[in-house]
Chains A and B, each alone.
Chain A
């Protein structure tokens, strides 16, 4: 692999104008596969969720999953698309061992949803409209494990093992129109679009859209054209970029790489590229020497889908509040900036905070815990916030204990740590670890007296009016009570005993 000399991002954008196309595949959360009744549950034994149809056995036939179609229409409506009055499935023919029939049942020139848009909000609150070309139904492939090469990589592998449990799981492919005019914000737009789309999918309850589990995968197509020109440049297609951060990094890297190639008089080859999490780079994949000939034709084993207008309107009427609208409502309710809201969205914390507020916490403390301590922990563990072993109810309980003075911040953090460690719910952790704030006035009074006696010089300064010095005595008392005292109350007691006004 040759190292690509990149042009600085600023220099790239000074000369070129990026055009992006984003293709997102979403695995639907249906009970069964798109064309057969096999379960889609995760974690099953290899090849235990297969049947003649999803194995492509001779003689087998597909039948469309009604919920798959309904989900596709919902997604289309939420993306402001037109819904086809009549459309067909098509076969996309190419050979690949993880695809049992050696064609993918997909849609070609008659997608179920087309011509829509999604408004995405950037960090500074600006709204950028991403136009949607189409959303269509198709099916996932099986999973291959490569044996004999370096840790599961395809290159150098001697053979591969195939598990078809995932083959046939419903996919919705959502393709944008070329995204123009984003300029230097193109990577940010890409990330915000995928984030918004993920929220939308979750709000529609058609998929959990967990990128780290491959339930949502993004291909980033990018090209540059000299500023002020119209014609698109040659694009690269960076496949399977599987986190929001990676989407942004991939777009950024490709802008810099394309600029480097173009500036040095080179030409961009149309090719697929692979994104590398480790360093945010992309490397060359398969070169498309000739336009791939998928020999699409209408799937003769499936009849056309013709969603009635009545049904489409029913689905439209039942759409949930769209995430951006909801977020703006929440942002006002919570009284925070657009930037803070964007951070919350990017952290995948909107629903968690809402649920914590619903469980009784005030929004400020709900935000504080999820975006502070818990976000830090999730980041450390490399998992999504929602995957932490703590519930919004438990966070709300911690917030309540802080509010009523039973815990201070430090103890609350320890309580959360205990919950995350599996020691039980917050009350159990407080009980077992003995984390209650010392609120026994007698015990506290004694501790204060002892601290005053041991720090006579400081006590004198305070008596002399240097109230700020009280902090040192508070520290001493906290130390003596192993942090289990309410610091505010301790300060009050000290000032009281020394006869000064706080």
Chain B
């Protein structure tokens, strides 16, 4: 059954539907893989063996009763530990929620269950999704399956590592400033940040509410599309959820093409700080797009230069408020309650003990940015930058159908290298952040290995809001061309674990 773990989600679903394999067999194969390699990779914080097998059995019973199965029925999935799962630990990578068993399922969790997707467990992440390396997890770092001494990206490093190590064919991530795309980029997998509001945030532990967006992670563009369709759609429990039909992403993924498309290349997405190998692979990708029939258009988006700064004011500001609820009163950790201390002191002691340094740093940064006297200069200005970035995108999309860029300026860096240099760490999201600020959609997919270190490079495709299907149309075309050129999927070049 070893080859079951190498199949794509689409292939697994087809085999289960055809009766060639059972969902339980598929689940067991993945559980066995987790057992075998996760000690090294540390993609999972919690493996729900019993729950996964029970879900798989239910799929097999459905099949036996002759009921029609959904397009991903019986396919295993690794769920980022930021979505609530009723009765299953949800930690958000933080000590402050250690042992918390949510009394409710996130909308996304419910949708996965309703689609008979088998949830294998919860994946590691930077604490509260703050980070680009998964080193900020309170439960230890995750290794990059390409090179376990390197970071798997973040915050969703657990999800991307689970895919790259064949522990799961599907995973869920969340992307506030690049936390789906950057991990996908550095692990040679596919990750999509849908249009803001495309996937419900209900039950997704908030980091920065106006930027956070859950999305699909997979090893192929089609698998991502299939998962996208399962998790997207309007949710009355999320006021910011889009009440409109989900763009036809699966259809687009099945009909990849860039023929006659105008593809933009933004001049701000290169220069200092970009690794030579990354630029090289990116330039090759642009050449490929041209070869495939696209017209390449040079774009100038001057406000993008301010994106990182705006992001590091808006996200910390919102997080300082969102994380105030972790106060030791109603759930989670409580420290120092010896009967003599006040609630105020217990809250402060608990937060000191329960939050890691990056979380504290951002809470204080946000508290500062929102303070009276600083609000206009910082938070207020950052929101103006946001408007300017949106306008730059609008102008750009008058000229082009999609924009492409490197997903991240460098390949995976060694674990520990930027751990205590927040500014260096923040640069990892240079190319991904503008999209979060504007709310439109973007994808990262592999475009080769950097010659200098042999690590994967990601190509980012950016589409206008609500045009998520364009990502898949372009992504599928690029994926097919590259796979043909390489003779196999890029991931097959990863060393065996």
Q: Does A125 contact B (CB under 8 A)?
A: no
Q: Does B248 contact A (CB under 8 A)?
A: no
Known: A57-B103, A58-B97, A295-B321. A158 touches B367 (CB 8 A): no
- Chain A nearest CB from B116 CB (Å) reads 23
Q: Does B317 contact A (CB under 8 A)?
A: yes
- Chain A nearest CB from B310 CB (Å) reads 14
Q: Does A501 contact B (CB under 8 A)?
A: no
B 200-249 contacts with A by CB, 8 A: 201-206, 208-210, 236-240
B 236-276 contacts with A by CB, 8 A: 236-240
User: Could you mark each residue 143-158 of chain A with 1 if its beta carbon is under 8 Å from any beta carbon of chain B, else 0?
Assistant: 0000000000000001
Known: A52-B103, A61-B201, A64-B239. A300 touches B330 (CB 8 A): no
| B209 with A300: CB separation less than 8 A | yes
Once the chains are docked, how many angstroms separate the CA of A95 from the CA of B329?
A: 11
B contacts with A, residue count (CB < 8 A): 45
Q: Does A492 contact B (CB under 8 A)?
A: no
| A102 with B84: CB separation less than 8 A | no
Which residues of chain B are within 8 angstroms of A62 by Cβ–Cβ distance?
A: 239
Once the chains are docked, how many angstroms separate the CA of A55 from the CA of B331?
A: 10
| B83 with A56: CB separation less than 8 A | no
Q: Does B325 contact A (CB under 8 A)?
A: yes
Which of A61, A64, A100 gathers most chain B CB within 10 Å? A61
User: Could you mark each residue 43-78 of chain A with 1 if its beta carbon is under 8 Å from any beta carbon of chain B, else 0?
Assistant: 000000000100111111111100000000000000
| B331 with A57: CB separation less than 8 A | yes
- B329: nearest chain-A partner, CB-CB: A97
The segment from B155-163, B339-347, B471-479 that touches chain A is B339-347
Q: Does B336 contact A (CB under 8 A)?
A: no
- Chain B nearest CB from A139 CB (Å) reads 14
- A297: nearest chain-B partner, CB-CB: B370
Which residues of chain A are within 8 angstroms of B237 by Cβ–Cβ distance?
A: 61, 63
Which residues of chain B are within 8 angstroms of A159 by Cβ–Cβ distance?
A: 339
- A62: nearest chain-B partner, CB-CB: B239
| B84 with A59: CB separation less than 8 A | yes
| A97 with B202: CB separation less than 8 A | no
| A297 with B379: CB separation less than 8 A | yes
Q: Does B192 contact A (CB under 8 A)?
A: no
| A297 with B317: CB separation less than 8 A | yes
| B327 with A93: CB separation less than 8 A | no
| B371 with A293: CB separation less than 8 A | yes
Which residues of chain B are within 8 angstroms of A61 by Cβ–Cβ distance?
A: 201-202, 237-239
A-B contacts counted at CB < 8 A amount to 102
Q: Does A291 contact B (CB under 8 A)?
A: yes
| A295 with B371: CB separation less than 8 A | yes
Which residues of chain B are within 8 angstroms of A91 by Cβ–Cβ distance?
A: 321
| A101 with B324: CB separation less than 8 A | yes
Q: Does B486 contact A (CB under 8 A)?
A: no
Q: Does A8 contact B (CB under 8 A)?
A: no
- A37: nearest chain-B partner, CB-CB: B237
Q: Does B175 contact A (CB under 8 A)?
A: no
Which of A55, A58, A162 gathers most chain B CB within 10 Å? A58
Known: A95-B327, A101-B325, A297-B321. A59 touches B106 (CB 8 A): yes
User: Could you mark each residue 101-113 of chain A with 1 if its beta carbon is under 8 Å from any beta carbon of chain B, else 0?
Assistant: 1110000000000
- A144: nearest chain-B partner, CB-CB: B343
Once the chains are docked, how many angstroms separate the CA of A297 from the CA of B236?
A: 24
- A292: nearest chain-B partner, CB-CB: B372
Contact of B343 among A58, A97, A100 (CB under 8 A): A97
Contact of B318 among A158, A162, A300 (CB under 8 A): A300
Once the chains are docked, how many angstroms separate the CA of A159 from the CA of B338?
A: 11
| B347 with A95: CB separation less than 8 A | yes
Which residues of chain A are within 8 angstroms of B205 by Cβ–Cβ distance?
A: 58-59
Known: A95-B327, A97-B329, A300-B210. A63 touches B236 (CB 8 A): yes
Contact of A60 among B92, B202, B318, B347 (CB under 8 A): B202
| A102 with B324: CB separation less than 8 A | yes
Known: A295-B367, A297-B321, A300-B318. A56 touches B330 (CB 8 A): yes
Q: Does B102 contact A (CB under 8 A)?
A: yes
Once the chains are docked, how many angstroms separate the CA of A482 from the CA of B208?
A: 80
Once the chains are docked, how many angstroms separate the CA of A102 from the CA of B106?
A: 22
| B330 with A100: CB separation less than 8 A | yes
Q: Does B90 contact A (CB under 8 A)?
A: yes
| B239 with A63: CB separation less than 8 A | yes
Q: Which residues of A contact B (CB under 8 A)?
A: 52, 55-64, 91, 93, 95, 97, 100-103, 158-160, 162, 291, 293, 295-297, 300-303
Q: Which residues of B contact A (CB under 8 A)?
A: 83-84, 90, 92, 97, 100, 102-104, 106, 201-206, 208-210, 236-240, 317-318, 320-321, 324-327, 329-331, 339, 343-344, 347, 367, 370-372, 375, 379
A–B Cβ pairs within 8 angstroms, 9 of them = A57-B102, A58-B331, A59-B106, A59-B203, A97-B327, A159-B339, A160-B343, A162-B330, A300-B240
Other A-B contacts than A59-B84, A162-B329, 18 sampled, CB-CB below 8 A, are: A52-B84, A52-B103, A55-B330, A57-B102, A58-B84, A58-B97, A59-B83, A59-B203, A59-B204, A61-B239, A91-B321, A93-B320, A93-B324, A95-B324, A95-B347, A97-B329, A293-B371, A300-B210
Considering the complex of A and B, which 10 residue pairs feature the smallest CB-CB distances, nearest first? Answer: A102-B324, A295-B370, A300-B210, A300-B209, A59-B203, A58-B205, A56-B325, A59-B84, A59-B205, A101-B325
